[in-house]
Amino acid sequence: MLEKIAPGRLFRPVVALVVLVAIWQLVLMLTGVPRYILPSPMAVGSALIEQRALLAHHAGITAIEIVAGLIGGILLGLATALALARFRALRRTLLPLLLISQAIPLFALAPILMLWLGYGLGPKILMAMVIIYFPVASTGYDGLRQTPQGWLDLARTFGLSRRQQLLKVQLPAALPSLASGLRMAASAAPIGAVIGEWVGSSQGLGYLMLNANARLQIDLMFAALVVLVAFAVLLYFGVDAALRLSMPWHRDRVESGP
Amino acid sequence: MPPPGLVVRQASLTFGNRPLFHGLQARFDAGSWTCLLGRSGSGKSSLLRMIASLRLPDNHHLDLATSDGAPLTGRLAWMAQQDLLVPWQRVVDNVMLGAHWRGRPKPEDRQHAERLLDQVGLADKAGQWPDELSGGQRQRVALARTLFEDASVVLMDEPFSAVDAITRLELHDLASRLLADRTVIMVTHDPLEALRLADRILILQGEPAHLVSIPVPEGARPRPLDNVDLQHRQAELVTRLQESAHA
């Protein structure tokens, strides 16, 4: 797996990043957009360095919210998927509710959570959990449902109970499907936390962005955004690496592609 | 413990509105190898699934009795056309899959699994992933997994139909040797396979279907390909199967 982080693999993303920054600079020079609308890459870079203590403090808060939300959302989603697969009665009542819950816009939910839970970390963690919960629950349940019949036949002739069948056969068989839900969750988690911070908070990257915006510190606002993007990317690759490690048999197919 | 014989009574299966068979009777002698043939859709695989108490989408009924009166549960092993190896376990763990799935395997389970891998000629593959094996090798692992269950009744649904002809002949010899003294019921499409392996050949034919017993070649199984009687019977069996398709 180590050879996958070799320079050859990093080359293209780095080139893409450099090109993007160059376009950004070019747009600035060609259009003469004022600095309070779009700061230069240099200005954002220096804000990142000069304000690193401030950024680090707020980034730490947001990181806690994201990770706590991610863990909570995954555990809750997984528990829901298992319960849905195990109990027929639950499927009939809970499944429609689950779908309806997806129709509620997250932004509409945020002020209510704020009202109930206050301005602390709680509502932000809950927002991140809510946004992660559905993809994990639905991909997990789908995966559990689509266990090949042959393995279920085998489980039956082995004399397995329904519970053993669920945990020993259906759950590992669902892992590849669940993994795509977890990757989705990893990239969605920062969104939940930041929305929570926008609606009402006194710390975190979302708060820092709003605050900098109000004070026309656009370079700081962009610097906070850069940190947030870095978080999202790191989280995605972290979850991806963890999934590869937990599915060593899947490695070859993932690397060589279909 | 000696293997039980099986008696099937009042087997019926309805596919949609069409009865495939009704009031079907069959007897499978203790320690014998029976091959079940018939055209596609005759219900032979379904009959096998019914004996194994596996899930079926269609309406079905079956009275099953064993010669020793004890229930079949826990004495039965299943082998399907697909090898059904799970990709998340290594080869040796696939052999002892039953132990893994039922609970925590003991050290002697692993030793037993390694011995069985040795018997099917794959001792050196124990630590590999199933993905790294060929189709024939995978089916040999499936055979070892079937043996691991140490069941006295083995039900096989076209177990060797997905491998090439030469591999299939090798698997016949292996299976015949390792499954000796067990009650085996095997569904197959391959007349040659049936003639090499069976103590008894049954064809499911007619509508609704009934079972017809076909004489098997002389000699101990697995019968070699140059067995004169086998070649003679092969033409006869193919003709019978063609007739059953037109009946």
For B100-141, the pLDDT digits (tens) are: 999 889 999 999 999 999 999 999 999 999 999 999 999 999
| Full pLDDT tens readout for chain A, 258 residues | 444 455 567 788 889 989 999 999 999 889 888 888 888 898 999 999 999 999 999 999 999 999 999 999 999 999 999 999 999 888 888 888 888 878 888 788 888 888 888 888 888 999 899 889 988 999 999 999 999 999 999 999 999 999 999 999 999 999 989 998 999 888 888 888 888 888 888 899 999 999 998 988 899 999 999 999 998 889 999 999 998 888 887 755 444 333
Q: Is the pLDDT of residue B29 over 50?
A: yes
Q: Residue B53 region, left (φ>0) first, then alpha (ψ -120 to 50), else beta?
A: left
Chain A residue numbers with beta carbons less than 8 Å from the beta carbon of B87 are 249-250
CA distance A148 to chain B (A): 9
The Cα-based distances of A74 to A66, A67, A128, A248 in angstroms read 12, 11, 11, 21
Residues in contact with B81: Cβ distance below 8 Å, sequence separation at least 6, in sequence order:
B157, B158, B159, B161, B162
What's the longest Cα–Cα distance across chain B? 55
Are A157 and B101 a contacting pair at CB < 8 A?
A: no
Of A153, A248, A252, the CB nearest to B78: A153
User: How far, in Å, CA of A216 to CA of A24, rounded?
Assistant: 20
CB contact under 8 A, B77 and A159: no
User: Which chain B residue has its CA at the smallest distance from A176's CA?
Assistant: B88
Which pTM was predicted?
0.83
Q: Smallest CA–CA separation between A252 and chain B, in Å?
A: 9
Size of interface A-B (CB pairs under 8 A): 61
Using CA atoms, how far apart are residues B226 and A210, in angstroms rounded to an integer? 87
Q: Would you give the distance in Å from CA A43 to the centre of its chain?
A: 29
Cis peptide before B87 (omega within 30 of 0): no
Could you write out the DSSP letters of every residue in A226-243? HHHHHHHHHHHHHHHHHH
- CB-neighbour burial class of residue B73 (10 A; exposed 0-12, middle 13-18, buried 19+): exposed
Q: Could you tell me if B210 and B22 are in contact, meaning their C-beta atoms sit under 8 angstroms apart?
A: no
